Structure 1
Amino acid sequence: MLNCYSSWKYVFLSFIFVISLLYALPNLYGEDPVIQITGKNGNFASQDISDNIKKALKQNFIKYKDISIDNKTIIVRFNNTDTQLLAHKIITKTIGKKYSTLLNLVPAIPSWLSLISARPIKLGFDLRGGVQFLIEVDIDSIIKKIQDKNINSLSYDLRKKAIPYTKIYLSKKDSLNINFKNFKDLNNAFIYLKSTYKDLSLRNNDNNSISAVINKVYLNKLRENIIQQNIEILRNRINQLGISESSIQRQGSEHIRINLPGIKNIAQAKELIGATSTLEFRLVNTSVDSNLISKNIVPLDSEIKYMTDGQSVLLYKNVILTGDHITYSTSSIDEYNNPEVDITLDSIGGNIMSAFTRDNIGKSIATLFVEYKNSHKKNSKGHEILIKNEEIINIANIRSQVNNRFRITGIKNFNKAHKLSMLLRSGTLIAPIHIVEERTIGPTMGRKNIKKGLEACLCGLISCFSFMVFFYKKFGLISIAALIINLIIIIAITSLLPGVTLTMPGIAGIILTLAVAIDANILINERIKEEICNGYSIQKAIHKGYKNALSSIIDSNIITLIKVVILYTFGTGSIRGFAIMTAIGVITSMFTAITVTKTIVNLVYSNKSIKTLSI
């Protein structure tokens, strides 16, 4: 029978509509302004702190929606941002410097929607506002670090080859200079180093010295690797800290731009992404008398470092392993109820540690915690000067060979162990970073953009409604109904997909697909009118109209999808956002324009003797 679906098809389509409506519903509830309170330096956000906050807000007659504790973080919800900002001052004063506060926005959906994991659409930076950083990567510090390592390597190799030199040092221009007594020693050294150190450009000087600088090819490759690795580490760190819908993009040769939607507290955001800390594993030098160490008389291959209690320890300069080889770390409690960090190394790090511990059983290995802290001073470029702070957190005796898994102890408290494990898990920054620009963008622009986008959608729907009803009567109304269902499905899919974020270009993509959907319905309606003019019965004309229009609709939408794939492949940022939303809209519009409208037509006209058609 023509124009009649089986009952299961009606049930299936009804189910899709209900599910879409259900998962699109959270977008009507909006977001609540919140203040998130977390502990720092070993302090936890406890119930006592929560009670103090409640008391302080009550005394100042500030109304709040709810206070809860989630994963050791206190979350205070408010009705509007004005109350949130007023409460922020009072809460900051109440809790003191042991805790940090973060202004944020969280979905205001009811609990019954949360049970089915229904969430509103994730809004991008241009719609939600937040914190924006422009970060400069300190490449020079890495170059200096490499040259410092080259000094140790060159001096060791020259001594090994019995080539005497008088002095080896690093000049102000990061050029490494080696002085010799005579030309013969210089020439022998030059021939040997030229064949061994391929990444260095060597030059003979007139004063019996050799200058060594890192060659440009290696330097450019190094610069590229540092930037890309820092971007990846920053992305992992932000994900570990629970900041969603962020964007991290390279800008220029040495800069990275970070957008953190929804966050308004710059100080807190800087603390989250700017932590520059790692671990170094070094062998303890026990061959030097403690009296000499106290007088700072130590061998050239060693240096003095300090324990957390201030005790001095002599370590070899050679670093066995760094945090770069750590693939996973987690904090826990040992058998003595003390905090510890369990570490897993990659294959290279595991091999290094295994070989080292095998060859050094009975010796002591130190875990050195290295952190760069802000000195609150600026250099000639206006950058914040970072001070390198080093502290031995653990000294262990090597009793047996270890593999890629081991643990470190000696950390002061569990919160520090947790923070350290999180930073190691997300990755250690390859090079220190400087925040050269910071901006807070409020939600006002976002609200305007969303409002204008909704107004554009509404104007488009009204225009389509007027056009379709005027030209196609009842079939025009059916097309408009399918268009509304299409919009609901797009919103539901965008809300459900975890990696999709709605931006202003994304709204443009939605509006474009609504126009595409109407084009398909116009094509179907015109085909039906043609078949009626060709003398077919109403039922036959409807059937042939949908059938004959199908190939044209599919062809045109496939062409659009190909364009979308090209945009997504070669585009970045907002262009990709536009491509994703257009792709979703094209797929849903094909479904609604063909299947949904046909379903409504079948419900209205099937099993009926029709002499005239309202089209």
Structure 2
Amino acid sequence: MRKTNAKPKYTWQILVIIVTVIILGLNAIPTFYGNHNALLVSAVNPTQSLPNTQTLRNVVQQQSINVEQIINSESSSKIVIDGDDDALLAAQTQLKTTLGDDFQVRLGSQSAAPKWLQGMGMSPIKLGLDLSGGVLFVLEVDTNKADQERLGNAKDEALQLIHDNGLRGMSVKLADSQEKINLHFLTHQASQVKTVVNELQQRLPGITYTASGDRDGTLVFSDQSVTTFHHEIMAQALTTLRGRIEELGITEAVTQRQGQNRIRIELPGVKDPEQAKRIIGATASLDFYEMAQSGTVGAKTFTDENGRRLRLAPKPIFTGSNIENATSGRDEMGIALVNLALDGIGGKKMSDFSKDNIGNPMVTIFSEYHKNSADEMVKSSKVISVATIQSQLGNRFSITNLDSPQAASDLALLLRAGSLDAPITIVQQRTIQASLGQENVGNGIMALAIGLGITLVFMGLWYRKLGLIANTSLVLNLVCLLGLMALLPNVVLTLPGIAGLVLTVGMAVDTNVLIFERIKEERKRGRSNFLAIETGYKEAFATILDANVTTMITALILLSIGYGPVKGFAMTLSLGILTSMFTGVFVAHVLTSLVKPQIAVKHKELRS
């Protein structure tokens, strides 16, 4: 009797399966090793050299903490320790005390996988807030305050135009409601008002003018302009906050809009919530002013630390939005400073201004929002520098006279990440301990193991040899899914994500059940094993595809509009659909076609 060999027909399929499983399997391995705690040591002044490896090791070992390894780079040293979070915090305190204010010591982590896997760029799956512990912030963006600031700037623009056009007797005031600008003028100035309004609308698109009498009118921003402005404010806040989080060295953070004017930030693995709160919740901005000339309309008055009253021009020379880079350091006397690099626009403004104002002062104003005793958001500003311009400056200069190296470092971080145009308030803060995260991981793995075990036993007993094929594809499905989650940069595993893993197991088995039942029906019709397998997979594929596509649509919708736990579940579910289609249809088809005909031939030989 002639033996049919199906292997050559599936050569390329077998090759694809082997390559895919090896790549994803290698990426899945580091997840089982987890992470070690680590400390990142960097210099406040980038030009300052880092302590040598042996010095860092000796400092940490003073707390009887074992150092696994020290990884050096150009800008920092990573100290990997063998210990829990308490040991990590103790080591951080010891390093800060020994190294002083010249160095920053931040908390971090390092993969515990073998070095050959790390050398290939493979790392564990990033764990979410509920699994690794960390901090959750919900921030509220005060768009009303931003509207008031915008309207105040429009009033200053109108005053400047009135002054430039020499219109005496015309006045501009903010309404008590802070929602519009009242314009009062003399009867014969009606035609000149139109000129002022036209120039103002060119400078501030979206502002509208309505006459309320022969001598009065109002200026307001249109509803469409306000809506667009709020959208830009939220987009700018998201971008700025993400920049600040990156500066903190947190790569697994989740930052997304929540509702109308709130932002949700999840910081997994953060063990120093106060530092994160100080940086993320700051609404600092920096503005650079020239001194106001006598008779300047709308001049701003500030008091410096020596009690001197300074009258500044109504508009800054340039703002923090023109700052391209900022680094902290020290001057020749050891006093903390911040070195600034401006973008092209800011550099040109600085060059033009300094060229015409050699010998004149330039004042730096630092502003931030905070809540007063009445729980109202108020803006406070202070003078941090009054410097005399000695020569024409370009796009690089320094801010001196700062309180401490830490203040300089924080200011540089905020300026690098960008200032916020609207004040933000932390309306919710929740800290999840790492011990609770470990408990969640254990419970989740237990649930997955129980579900997987029951499924494997059932499939093995019910379908026998076909069940072994289903079990093989199911295990490969989990390996591929874990590897894919570790490979993709923005995927974070959460507790609901583990529920998605369990659901993926059920969906993968459901795919095999549909196919196997179809194969059994074809065998009852008298078809050979080979034809029954081919027909079974072909006929069941349309049903499987429809079911997975509809589920994928739902998962993508949840992924796009959901946040927090919902997004974690949707991410795991959508990736699980892809891997279950690959293993449940493609891999299982090849395995069934290779194994089942051989079994059938053996039975025929035994009967003969």
TM-score, normalised with respect to structure 2: 0.79
Matched, 1:611 2:603: yes
Given candidates 294, 317, 336, the residue that maps to 2:314 is: 317
Would the aligned equivalents of 1:284 and 1:363 in 2 still touch at CA under 8 Å?
A: no
Decide whether aligned partners of structure 1 residues 17 and 184 sit closer, same or farther in structure 2, where only a CA change above 3 A counts.
Answer: closer
- Structure 1 residues not aligned, in runs of 5+: 289-296, 400-405
CA-CA distance at 1:271 after TM superposition:
3.5
Decide whether aligned partners of structure 1 residues 534 and 136 sit closer, same or farther in structure 2, where only a CA change above 3 A counts.
Answer: closer
CA-CA distance at 1:65 after TM superposition:
3.1
Amino acid at match of 1:504: L
Match of 2:366 in 1: 371
Aligned residues: 584
Decide whether aligned partners of structure 1 residues 92 and 268 sit closer, same or farther in structure 2, where only a CA change above 3 A counts.
Answer: same
Would the aligned equivalents of 1:379 and 1:385 in 2 still touch at CA under 8 Å?
A: no
Match of 1:294 in 2: none
Amino acid at match of 1:319: P
Given candidates 106, 114, 135, the residue that maps to 1:131 is: 135
Give a deviation string over 1:440-481, Cα, whole Å, max 9, x none: 211233223322322222122122122212211121112111
1:435-450 map, 5 Å? 435-450=426-441
Give a deviation string over 1:279-336, Cα, whole Å, max 9, x none: 5455577xx7xxxxxxxx775466688999999998643334333355x447699xx9
Matched, 1:268 2:259: no
Decide whether aligned partners of structure 1 residues 193 and 506 sit closer, same or farther in structure 2, where only a CA change above 3 A counts.
Answer: same
RMSD: 4.6
1:74-473 map, 5 Å? 74-96=78-100, 99-139=103-143, 142-165=146-169, 174=178, 184=187, 199=207, 218-219=225-226, 221-251=228-258, 253-280=260-287, 282=289, 299-300=296-297, 316-325=313-322, 328-329=324-325, 341-345=340-344, 349=345, 362-363=356-357, 369-372=364-367, 378-381=372-375, 386-391=380-385, 395=389, 407-411=395-399, 423-473=414-464
Give the secondary-structure state (helix, strand or coil) at the position aligned to 2:480: helix
Give a deviation string over 1:547-595, Cα, whole Å, max 9, x none: 4433433333333333333433444444343333222212211221233
Whole-angstrom distance in 1 between the partners of 2:559 and 2:236: 23
Give the secondary-structure state (helix, strand or coil) at the position aligned to 2:238: helix
Would the aligned equivalents of 1:340 and 1:407 in 2 still touch at CA under 8 Å?
A: no
Whole-angstrom distance in 1 between the partners of 2:296 and 2:196: 25
Matched, 1:527 2:518: yes
Whole-angstrom distance in 2 between the partners of 1:39 and 1:185: 66
CA-CA distance at 1:143 after TM superposition:
4.4
Whole-angstrom distance in 2 between the partners of 1:550 and 1:369: 68
Whole-angstrom distance in 2 between the partners of 1:61 and 1:360: 56
Give a deviation string over 1:98-123, Cα, whole Å, max 9, x none: 55544444322221111111111111
Would the aligned equivalents of 2:173 and 2:182 in 1 still touch at CA under 8 Å?
A: yes
Would the aligned equivalents of 1:175 and 1:212 in 2 still touch at CA under 8 Å?
A: no
Decide whether aligned partners of structure 1 residues 178 and 509 sit closer, same or farther in structure 2, where only a CA change above 3 A counts.
Answer: closer
Amino acid at match of 1:233: T
- Structure 2 residues not aligned, in runs of 5+: none
Would the aligned equivalents of 2:45 and 2:328 in 1 still touch at CA under 8 Å?
A: no
Whole-angstrom distance in 2 between the partners of 1:543 and 1:251: 49
Whole-angstrom distance in 2 between the partners of 1:78 and 1:502: 24
Whole-angstrom distance in 1 between the partners of 2:544 and 2:262: 46
Would the aligned equivalents of 2:286 and 2:367 in 1 still touch at CA under 8 Å?
A: no
Amino acid at match of 1:371: F
Q: Using the TM superposition, name which of 354-363 and 423-432 deviates more.
A: 354-363
Matched, 1:505 2:496: yes
Q: Percent of pairs identical after alignment?
A: 28
Whole-angstrom distance in 2 between the partners of 1:129 and 1:522: 39
Would the aligned equivalents of 1:517 and 1:589 in 2 still touch at CA under 8 Å?
A: yes
Amino acid at match of 2:591: I
Q: Using the TM superposition, name which of 33-42 and 503-512 deviates more.
A: 33-42
Matched, 1:536 2:527: yes
TM-score, normalised with respect to structure 1: 0.78
Give the secondary-structure state (helix, strand or coil) at the position aligned to 2:263: strand
Whole-angstrom distance in 2 between the partners of 1:357 and 1:57: 48
Would the aligned equivalents of 2:256 and 2:263 in 1 still touch at CA under 8 Å?
A: yes
CA-CA distance at 1:22 after TM superposition:
1.3
Would the aligned equivalents of 1:33 and 1:84 in 2 still touch at CA under 8 Å?
A: yes
Amino acid at match of 1:229: Q
Decide whether aligned partners of structure 1 residues 51 and 429 sit closer, same or farther in structure 2, where only a CA change above 3 A counts.
Answer: farther
Would the aligned equivalents of 2:134 and 2:267 in 1 still touch at CA under 8 Å?
A: yes
Given candidates 31, 37, 49, the residue that maps to 1:27 is: 31
1:575-586 map, 5 Å? 575-586=566-577
